[in-house]
Amino acid sequence: MTTAPTKDPSAGSQSKPTSAVARVPSGVTRRILRRETHSSRSGATVVMLIVLILVVGYVGVEAVYAALGQPPLLFSPVDAVATLLSAATAQPALVIAAGIAAAILGLVLAVIGLTPGRRGRHTIDDDRVAVVVDDQVIAASLARNARIAGGLAPGQVTAWVARSSARITITPASGSTADTDAVLRAANDELGRIAYRPPVTAEARVTPNGRLGA
Amino acid sequence: MTTTNRFANRLFLIVLGVISLAVGLFVAATALPAAPLLRDWLTTARDAQSTALSNTRAGGNEPFDGSYLPWLLAVLCLLIVIIALVAVVTRGRGRTDRVVDLDENAGRVIVSSSFAETALVDALSSRRDVASVSVVAYELKGAPALKVRLRLTAGSAPTDAVQAASGAVRGLDRVLGGEAEIPVLVEVVGASPVRPGADSRVR
């Protein structure tokens, strides 16, 4: 995603400190940041490798039984085509269901392999180090600032951060109003000052129902 | 920051996915009542298979008088299992135990990564907005790299802690004094749900 400033609440703080003295090769930094903000897909790969080991290992054992002319343990791979043929005529619904299940599994795997797998993290520019920040941290910081700006109690503010937007939800005490403008100004001020990449824009929302005793 | 080959991960998942998709669709298609063509083809395949099995007798004594094709299948399975086991074991490698390894005329200089770890943890763990610090050394393209994980207390803004970490790393650069600086990743994570960082009630 390009870093086009979507909104400009504080033009002065938009000038990001570009690494003027790129003493660490920026290629390495970029590589680190890319690896840290995207999933490696190692989890899915390891799970599928283990499944593959179990299935192929079993087929191998059955192949040895078939080669020695022994009766199969459960099912001989030599009979696979014949079994499929008889099952397709005798139990078509079952075969169709199994085939669709395998196709769905394959589709899921292909999607896992093709999607970028972003990890809910933003980066901050720094001259020396590569920085990644969990979205959870950004949300917690926004919620705390909103609480201070709006004069609210800890349980009255929740914040939620996505790739390019943040939503702050305020639950005022019943009968009182919330200073949404102050909250939004504080949030955008903080987001402009810290200059996350990709940039985040905040929006504030007040829940329609207040809460007693909040 | 491990040395795991991510492209290989994705290629494996895509290839396995496409194979599974193709096999699944084929199996489902064979059972469709309107597709006798595929079943005819399967009948041909079954007959061809039994012909192949009877034509490839290994010619040994009992019990090695059968076809050698199942043996080929078994060997292929063994190969796949070995390759997959190696692939599983090599995921997530890349830790290293040294941050400096210089081999000069005067002698060899090795600085253990625990030196850098202690220095950075000492410099950062006393901060109020930092709940815990951990440092790990990795090998990145043959050179050492550090990963600093800062766990912030709930609600703290990341900038100050990041600047402190950057300053601590610069100090480490001065101490180590090499020409090439060590790449450093600062990873800022939130208070863990299991061990929450204290909310420092400052307003």
The reply to whether residue B17 touches residue A64, judged by beta carbons under 8 angstroms, is no
Answer yes or no: do A59 and B77 touch at CB < 8 A: yes
pLDDT for the residue numbered A213: 59
Is some CB atom of chain B closer than 8 A to the CB atom of A79?
A: no
pLDDT higher than 70, residue B203? no
- Residue A161's alpha-carbon distances to A164, A178, B59, B85, B132, in angstroms, are 8, 21, 70, 39, 23
* pLDDT for res B193: 56
- The structural domain count of chain B equals 2
> Which of B89, B122, B139 is the last residue before a domain boundary?
B89
Residue ranges of the domains in chain A? 42-114, 120-206
Query: Does B117 share its domain with B144?
Result: yes
pLDDT at B63 over 90: no
Instruction: Kindly state whether residues B24 and B67 are assigned to the same domain.
Output: yes
Question: Is the pLDDT confidence value at A51 over 60?
Answer: yes
Of the pLDDT bands very low, low, confident and very high (cuts 50, 70, 90), residue A57 is very high
pLDDT at B178 (0 to 100): 67
Over range A148-161, report the average pLDDT.
Answer: 86
- Are B18 and B80 members of one domain? yes
pLDDT single digits (tens) A179-191:
888 899 999 999 9
pLDDT score at B90: 86
- Give B26's contacts in chain A (Cβ within 8 Å): 99
Query: Which residue of chain A has the CA closest to B66?
Result: A67
Q: Which of A131, A145, A152, A193 to mutate to test the interface with B (most CBs of B within 10 A)?
A: A131
Secondary structure (3-state) at B126: coil
pLDDT at A22: 42
In a domain, B85, yes or no: yes
Domain end marker among B52, B68, B89 = B89
- CA A161, A162, A163, A164 dihedral sign is negative
Q: Above 80 in pLDDT, residue A211?
A: no
Q: What is the pLDDT of residues B1-59, one digit of tens each?
A: 567 788 899 999 999 999 999 999 999 998 888 768 888 888 888 898 888 888 887 77
Name residue B7's amino acid: F
CATH number reported for the structural domain that contains residue B156 in this entry: 3.30.70.1350
Got the DSSP string for A86-140? Answer: HHHHH-HHHHHHHHHHHHHHHHHHHHHHHS--B-SEEEE--SSSEEEEEHHHHHH
Asked whether residue B74 falls in the same domain as residue B131, the answer is no
SS3 B125: coil
> Does residue B200 belong to any structural domain of this protein?
no
pLDDT per residue as tens digits for the range B136-181: 998 887 788 899 999 998 888 899 999 999 999 999 988 887 667 8
The alpha-carbon radius of gyration of chain B (Å, integer) is 29
Average pLDDT in the B119-132 region?
Answer: 90
Query: Which of B56, B71, B89 is the C-terminal boundary of a domain?
Result: B89
If you average pLDDT over residues A4-26, what whole number do you get?
A: 43
A173 touches chain B (CB under 8 A): no
- Domain membership of residue B27 (yes or no) is yes
**Domain range for B149:** 98-189
User: Tell me, what's the pLDDT at A61?
Assistant: 95
How confident is the model at residue B97, as a pLDDT?
86
- Tens of pLDDT, residues B69-112: 889 999 999 999 999 999 998 887 788 888 888 888 888 888 88
The A residues from 88 to 117 touching B (CB cutoff 8 Å) are 88-89, 91-93, 95-96, 98-114
CB A102 within 8 A of CB B23: yes
- ipTM for the assembly: 0.80
Position B121 confidence tier, pLDDT thresholds 50, 70, 90: very high
A69 touches chain B (CB under 8 A): yes
- Residue A124 has φ and ψ, to the nearest 5°, of -125, 140
